[in-house]
Structure 1
Amino acid sequence: MSEPRRLEVLRAIVEDYVHSREPVGSKALVERHRLGVSSATIRNDMALLEEEGLITAPHTSSGRIPTDKGYRLFVDRIAEVKPLSAPEKRAIRALLESADDLDDVLDRTVRLLAQLTNQVAVVQYPHLGAASVRHIEFVLLAPGRVLVVLISTNGAVQQRVASVPAGTQEDELADLRHRFLGKVSGVRLPSVPQELAACTAELPPARQALGKSLAHSLEQLSGANREDRIVMAGTANLARSTLDFPLTIGPVLEALEEQVVMLRLLSEMEQDALGVSVRIGRENPYGGLAEASVIATGYGPDALAKVGILGPTRMDYPTTMAAVRAVARYLSRILDES
């Protein structure tokens, strides 16, 4: 059996099984694919693939289905990730570019990716520690109440209401915003408290109380850690894939609910030459995902946070990989421009 034909037979089995969810026989392969050999030759090829652990027979007299090892070889031999269609690209761009803030962007991202792939989509919040201050704003809401806004370079907009002296005027807020922004603009978020402390120490006595109150709120916002959060969409898609989980779908749902499991898995996944990472079945360290695959890629300036999908091992890998990579690129572009 030649290596190229072996890969062609495996590819055909994977594609047919993904499409039909039915075990694939030699006769069907000959009829549906231009393999250039007889059914008898294909049967011999399939026997060798089975000996190598790349395909298996779920029933005694059935056709064959891919194993985790077979899916892995198929994924590793994908020469290139096919691009999305022009309408799909336009839909991604239109939906994400109209978002209001980071929360809205990430929510739209997972809903869009779930629709494109018919899988569960997940996105990890960007690591704020790697972000810097882009802008701050103080808005007088009422006597003694000021809205403090911190915008970071990764697109996050955070805000909280601060209690300030009752006689605070808008010109005082404008003065302090100018002073603070001069100190912290472009500063990484973990270093903001030190810069604010230095700035408040230099304030005139009449501004000390107001300055300390506003600085405290900015410190709280700069230290808000959101990188241990993920956003999900499309969990209902799993309900339509129950046949792909012979035992039970319960462990998969539990893994999704246990965000720490998904966060740990996403953080460990390293991108391949095609710019994506694929974990198939038992390659996932968490036992509950033994019948699932996870496809993810990094996004943002540092590409530390991940966006991806989770679904059954029987999935359209080329199309799903393309969707994940395309959405991640648009997401990175929008965060860079925001």
Structure 2
Amino acid sequence: MVTERGLQVLRAIVQDYVDTHEPVGSRTIVERHAFGVSAATIRNDMALLEDEELITAPHTSSGRVPTDKGYRVFVDHLAELRPLTHAQRAAISSFLEGPTDLDDVLMRTVRALTQVTGQVAIVQYPSFEQASVSHVELVNLGGGRVLVVVVTDTGRVSQRLALVHDELDDTDIVRLRALFGDLVVRRSVREGAQRVGALLADDEASAADGSAPDGATRAIARVLAEELDEFRQDRLLLAGAANLARRESDFRGSIYPLLEAIEEQVTLLRLMGEMVADEHGLAASIGRENEPFGLSEASVVTSDYDATGGTARVGVLGPTRMDYPSNLASVRAVARYLSRMLDDDENAR
């Protein structure tokens, strides 16, 4: 069992190792931290920590470095998160100032977080399955091209080009807009997707109204179905992948599994979905805890943020040798900014 002073020694080792990337010895701890005991006493505490597999010697006659288990105990016993500096808070607020829609908000969020932490920043889109479609707009671009714009009551906006292969006039656009508006507006994304799917499944449905060419109706319906289906999918936005390459020396093996997880997203979505948050909405998954996801050399810290219809997560991905107090404080601060912005936007509508 680790004593209170043992936890303090572990905290000192983690902090010094994160700061210096050098193994930490007992003499260094005595010099840098006010324990009020001798180096010999600290060595005894370190021996007990090593017995508990919380620290290890990377090579003979060296200082000690934290193990993944040691990082876990350190995070679980954090007395408080490190306050953000004025510069960090200013960076977050300036990045998140004046966004125009949810996609823009979330893109600004990951850019702010990667700048503040120096890690790969991740934000999870809220689930839009229960969101309602508030507006469908069709814009005739000519040459058989129609821009399909879908807006939800949660602020999500998508726009996609439909190739209808027919030249449409204003009357056609008005009628098609009314057709698809009646089909999906003021309905949930799930119900809207089902209704558009039913339209596509019925060979005669697209011509039943008689108000627009069948080919145009079906082309726009296919695009609308794909957009509504994408609204229902779990999705991430990421920024700062280049930080992994800059910190490659922090990884014992290849960073390729991390880059693959960033590209594929499915692994990160599963991992973030299984992380258990504390009463403050914070969660951390460290090193070998991520082995089932092929990310045993990485850590992920996240914070929940509030969005219409539930919560989602924002966080950072990086090596196990990371500044956990600062990174946890950063993701919590960004999550709070994001929750407040989305709430303000919801109240404004």
Q: Report the TM range for the smaller structure's normalisation.
A: 0.7 to 0.9
Q: Contact 1:82 / 1:319 at 8 angstroms: preserved in 2?
A: yes
Q: Contact 1:126 / 1:227 at 8 angstroms: preserved in 2?
A: no
Whether 1:169 and 2:170 are equivalent positions in the alignment is yes
Whether 1:334 and 2:337 are equivalent positions in the alignment is no
3-state SS of 1:97 partner: coil
Aligned match for 2:243, one of 221, 231, 237: 237
Change (3 A) 1:283 1:302: farther
Whether 1:80 and 2:86 are equivalent positions in the alignment is no
Which of 216-225 and 65-74 deviates more? 216-225
CA distance in 1, matches of 2:159, 2:229: 12
Q: Counterpart of 1:42 in structure 2: which amino acid?
A: I
Change (3 A) 1:104 1:175: same
Which of 54-63 and 229-238 deviates more? 229-238
Which of 264-273 and 22-31 deviates more? 264-273
Listed one character per residue, the Cα deviations across residues 267-309 of structure 1 (whole Å, up to 9, x for unaligned) are 2122122322111110013464222111123333355543221
Q: Post-superposition shift, 1:185?
A: 4.2
Q: Contact 2:190 / 2:232 at 8 angstroms: preserved in 1?
A: no
CA distance in 2, matches of 1:186, 1:329: 30
Q: Contact 1:143 / 1:168 at 8 angstroms: preserved in 2?
A: no
Q: Which consecutive segments of 4 or more residues in structure 1 shift more than 4 A? A: 164-167, 172-186, 193-198, 203-206, 208-217
Match of 2:291 in 1: 285
3-state SS of 1:285 partner: helix
Q: Contact 2:2 / 2:48 at 8 angstroms: preserved in 1?
A: no
CA distance in 2, matches of 1:50, 1:142: 72
Which residues of 2 match residues 109-128 of structure 1 at below 5 A? 109-128=109-128
Q: Post-superposition shift, 1:2?
A: 7.8
Q: Contact 2:117 / 2:327 at 8 angstroms: preserved in 1?
A: yes
Q: Counterpart of 1:9 in structure 2: which amino acid?
A: V
Match of 1:33 in 2: 33
Change (3 A) 1:232 1:3: same
Match of 1:256 in 2: 262
Change (3 A) 1:254 1:208: closer
Match of 2:45 in 1: 45
Which of 143-152 and 13-22 deviates more? 143-152
Q: Contact 2:129 / 2:232 at 8 angstroms: preserved in 1?
A: no
CA distance in 2, matches of 1:304, 1:20: 37
Q: Post-superposition shift, 1:182?
A: 6.8
Whether 1:187 and 2:193 are equivalent positions in the alignment is no
Q: Counterpart of 1:268 in structure 2: which amino acid?
A: E
Change (3 A) 1:145 1:57: closer
Which residues of 2 match residues 84-163 of structure 1 at below 5 A? 84-142=84-142, 145-162=145-162, 163=164
Listed one character per residue, the Cα deviations across residues 81-135 of structure 1 (whole Å, up to 9, x for unaligned) are 3443344333323322333444433333222211111112223333332322132
Match of 2:22 in 1: 22
Change (3 A) 1:264 1:54: same
Aligned match for 1:301, one of 308, 318, 322: 308
CA distance in 2, matches of 1:165, 1:304: 43
3-state SS of 1:127 partner: coil
CA distance in 1, matches of 2:238, 2:266: 13
CA distance in 1, matches of 2:209, 2:261: 54
Match of 2:202 in 1: none
Which of 38-47 and 181-190 deviates more? 181-190
Change (3 A) 1:34 1:186: farther
Which of 44-53 and 96-105 deviates more? 96-105
Q: Which runs of 5+ in 2 are unaligned?
A: 200-204
3-state SS of 1:130 partner: coil
Q: Post-superposition shift, 1:151?
A: 0.9
CA distance in 2, matches of 1:119, 1:243: 14
Aligned match for 2:327, one of 316, 320, 327: 320
Q: Contact 2:287 / 2:299 at 8 angstroms: preserved in 1?
A: yes
CA distance in 2, matches of 1:244, 1:160: 42
3-state SS of 2:230 partner: coil
Aligned match for 2:253, one of 247, 272, 290: 247
CA distance in 1, matches of 2:135, 2:92: 28
Which of 78-87 and 287-296 deviates more? 78-87
Q: Post-superposition shift, 1:71?
A: 0.8
Change (3 A) 1:100 1:21: same
How many aligned residue pairs are there?
335
